[in-house]
A and B are shown apart, each in its own frame.
Chain A
Amino acid sequence: MVMRNINKIILFIILDLVCLLHTSAFAKDINFEATVDSNKVELGQPFELNLTFNGTQYMPALEAPIIEGFQARYVGPSTRMSIINGQVSSSITHVYTLLPARKGTFQIGPFRFEHKGDVYNSNPITVEVVDVVALPQTPPAQAGGQPEAMDLNDQIFLIMQIGKNKIYLNEAVPVIIKLFVNKLGVRDIQYPQFSHDGFSAGEFGQPRQYREIVGGIGYDIIEFNTTVFGLKPGEFRLGPATMQCNLLVQRQNRGQAPPSPDNFFNSDFFNSFLGGYQAYPLNLKSTDIPVTVLSLPEENKPASFSGAMGIFDFEASVNLLEVKVGDPVTLKAIVRGQGNFNTVKFPATDLGDNFKAYEPQVKQENVTKIFEEVMIPLNDGIKEIPAVNFSFFNTGTGQYQTITRGPFPIKVIRSEKTEELQVVENKRSDTTLLKEEKLGRDIIYIKATSGKLTKKGEYLYKNKIFLGCQVLPLFLYLFIVVMHARNRRFKTDVRFARQLLAPRKARAGIRLAAGYFQKENVRDFYDALFDTMQEYLGDKFHLPSKGITISVIDEQLRSRGLPETILAKIEELFSECDMVRYAASQLTKEHMQNSLIKLEEVIDHLQRNKV
């Protein structure tokens, strides 16, 4: 609701602005015209005189003018504003009622009006006042029926006009069809149609709408324009033009007297929106026009004439002054003027064997036709592009005319790439024109060889060796992972490293001791035995090797659950070593062997059993 109000406000503001702009219209833009609703009136029958100022909505009324033979009375103003194709037009009409006082032919106006120092002059109008009996009685239209067209002939009619009645073959002439409407409500206006046997007619353009005074009566005119040209020589009739539209007629109230055409149509058009009007289809018809189509004279017909009809100008140009052999150059030809552009062909050129020319590209605008022809110079001996001749039949003078442009000097340079030019044709356009080839279909022929033969059902995924091999990388990976972890631990974990190295070092110690045993070197034998045992136990239990004594062993190893027999052997070994090393006891070879065996047993036991 709020939005609707805002929209209304905006609309009013726009309208006010438009009105304000129009109040400031200059006097020279204001047109003053006088019209009556009928040129022939009955004595004593009032009719309307309208004094209209076009171009403004703010113009005061003239005082009721004194007109000889009439009594005038001011009725009031009526304003009008319309926006057509963005063009705003406005007017104010001061309406007067004139009552004929006597018979005769009278001239009303011209009226002169002065306002703010500007003087406005209207046109004069001639009105004939006749006796009441002199006018034919208008038969009342039947209620609900279609109003007869003959009653409306002076209020709505169709006119067809042609530029000239004698034309040449293919000469384009304008045809104008105008719909005149005077104070009638008309809608659903169709495009006119007209018979044009022997002619070719173009389509109608956008209709033009304007107002015109004819014989003192103002008409709203809708103008339709097209062109026609004769297809064969002879006498023809163009038209009649016909048009369909709907006439808005005020509804007949029940019990009311049958309306006359006057009170039928002289009502406000906008009342129709309130439902007071009814649409009646109306067929309008103009008169036909005789047209003579003349054939073209054979005399002085130029060789380059290709049928162009009209009044034209012609220009031609070349886009390059210097070009290599094989490079394209464009010749542009522009034909401007009035006439039948359908008959305008590309101007004649004689290129000989010096150029390879392609089909020109054509572009047409309103009064211009542009041709662009691409040509390729084939040799470097070319000095110019030959002159271009455009011939046409001048429909204004009735004579043939030829315009020559060129020759166009051009410098053709030998191509660096190739000694001899080869123009490659584009074959695609030809191939696309070919009919689609219909190909046969069948199965493709058998294979000549048996191919690689394999045992039935023998697939690699079933092959046990292959499957077995798939386990190898896994094992390899696991092995490497374990080894890698062990190595890392060996490098970072001293206890682990010592434990790991203990047996190896012990074996070396035993070998050394065994050597001394063979040599019967008792002291060195027991030294080696002691060192081996001390180092092994130190490494094994991660204790300082040099600090390993009987008491330490007793304390450390007993708590680890070492069997008593092993503990006893260790103690015995330490005792024997101490005896030899410090008491200089001489032990027999048998003792030495027993000591070595004991050491081996201790190490073997400690290695085998997790302690």
Chain B
Amino acid sequence: MNRKILIRLAAIGLLFFTILSNAHSSMIQQYFDLGNSAYKEGKYEEAIENYEKVSDSGLESGNIYYNLGNSYFKKGKSGKAVFNYEKAFFFMPSDNDLMSNYEYVLASLNLDLQYFGTWPVRFANVLFEGATIDLLTVLLSAIYFLAVALLICSLFFPGLKRGINVFLLFLSVVFALSAVSLNSKITYLNKGAIVISKVADARFEPTESGTTYFKLTEGGKVEILEKNENWYKIKRPDNKMGWVQKTDVGSLSE
């Protein structure tokens, strides 16, 4: 008797959860559609509000960031547009529309494509340019599983050991390169930031009275090294470091 009650309760709970989650999904979809409608009508501020609501709901996707980027650009906030395009790249790095818009906005800001890291990192990033973080993770895992399977095979089939060793060497190289690329992407996700203000000063100290060391360009990439209340210690791709206000840059991890 008690068991039947428990099963019924579980079924009701599952139903309730499904209904709630569907309602949540439909609400998010509604915000997204509202954003699209507003964008079509040229109401970019309204479009941004709706897209941000989707983002604030705890969900994200490449398309949302892409549409947000477009809306910000149309609104005249190119730095914010670059920031959202950068976020979209984590989800759809090989999207041609995204790349086209990103380059266009950068060109409008008189910026070139910017890269962090040494040449091996750049080389690895070029190789796995079209891969998301999740895809690289799966790839690494698959290589690892395959390597273990091959090692086990070599125990039971000593005749194949030479061939397996060569293949393992190749897998090691791919593994190393994809690991470098994954690490670079994760580092950029966690530490990367985009200058979103039209004018931003990097100072020697995290105070408004601090001497300006250099100016940051809107849409430019920086790396966050340290946080101090309302200030970020950042590093430019040319390795110059300074303190900027949090409101001047958008952290890709937030």
Contacts and interface: CB of A to CB of B under 8 A. Distances in A.
A447 B101 contact: no
A95 to B, nearest CB: 82
Given A444-B101, A461-B133, A470-B144, A451 B155 contact: no
Given A447-B63, A480-B155, A459 B144 contact: no
Interface in B23-57: 25, 28-29, 32, 36, 39, 54-55
Given A459-B134, A470-B144, A477-B148, A446 B73 contact: no
B137 interface: yes
B178 to A, nearest CB: 12
B73 A443 contact: yes
B39 to A, nearest CB: 5
Nearest to B136: A461
B104 A450 contact: no
B159 interface: no
Given A453-B28, A476-B148, A480-B155, A446 B61 contact: no
Contacts of A470: 141, 144
B182 interface: yes
B32 to A, nearest CB: 4
B61 A459 contact: no
A481 interface: yes
B61 A451 contact: yes
B28 A473 contact: no
B105 interface: yes
A447 B66 contact: yes
Interface in B150-199: 151-152, 155-156, 182, 186
Contacts of B253: 457
A346 to B, nearest CB: 50
Nearest to B183: A461
A456 B28 CA distance: 14
B70 A443 contact: yes
Interface centre among A447, A473, A474, A477 (most CB of B within 10 A): A447
A345 to B, nearest CB: 52
A401 to B, nearest CB: 67
Contacts of A451: 61-64, 91-92
A478 B92 CA distance: 38
For chain B, give the interface size range.
35 or more
Contacts of B29: 450
A146 B60 CA distance: 94
A6 to B, nearest CB: 55
A456 B59 CA distance: 5
A447 B67 contact: yes
A476 B151 CA distance: 11
A454 B61 contact: yes
A2 interface: no
B64 A480 contact: no
A448 B97 CA distance: 13
Contacts of A452: 61, 91
Interface residues of A, number: 29
B138 interface: yes
Nearest to A459: B133
A456 B186 contact: no
B145 interface: yes
A484 B67 CA distance: 57
A461 B137 contact: yes
B2 interface: no
B100 A456 contact: no
A449 B67 CA distance: 10
A453 B73 contact: no
Given A470-B144, A484-B155, A446 B66 contact: yes
A454 B100 CA distance: 24
Interface in A431-473: 441-457, 459-461, 466, 470, 473
B191 to A, nearest CB: 14
Nearest to B31: A450
Nearest to A461: B137
B58 interface: yes
A459 B138 CA distance: 11
Contacts of B152: 476-477, 480
A477 B91 CA distance: 34
Interface string B64-75: 101100110110
B63 A456 contact: no
A310 to B, nearest CB: 61
Contact of B138 (A456, A460, A473): A460
Contacts of A466: 137, 141
A590 B105 CA distance: 98
A449 B29 CA distance: 9
Contacts of B133: 459-461
16 contacts: A442-B104, A443-B101, A444-B100, A449-B32, A451-B63, A451-B91, A452-B61, A453-B59, A456-B59, A459-B137, A460-B134, A461-B134, A461-B182, A473-B145, A474-B148, A476-B152
Interface of A: 441-457, 459-461, 466, 470, 473-474, 476-477, 480-481, 484
8 nearest CB pairs, A to B:
A451-B63, A473-B148, A447-B63, A451-B61, A444-B97, A443-B101, A453-B59, A460-B137
Interface of B: 25, 28-29, 32, 36, 39, 54-55, 58-64, 66-67, 70-71, 73-74, 91-92, 97, 100-101, 104-105, 133-134, 137-138, 141, 144-145, 148-149, 151-152, 155-156, 182, 186, 253
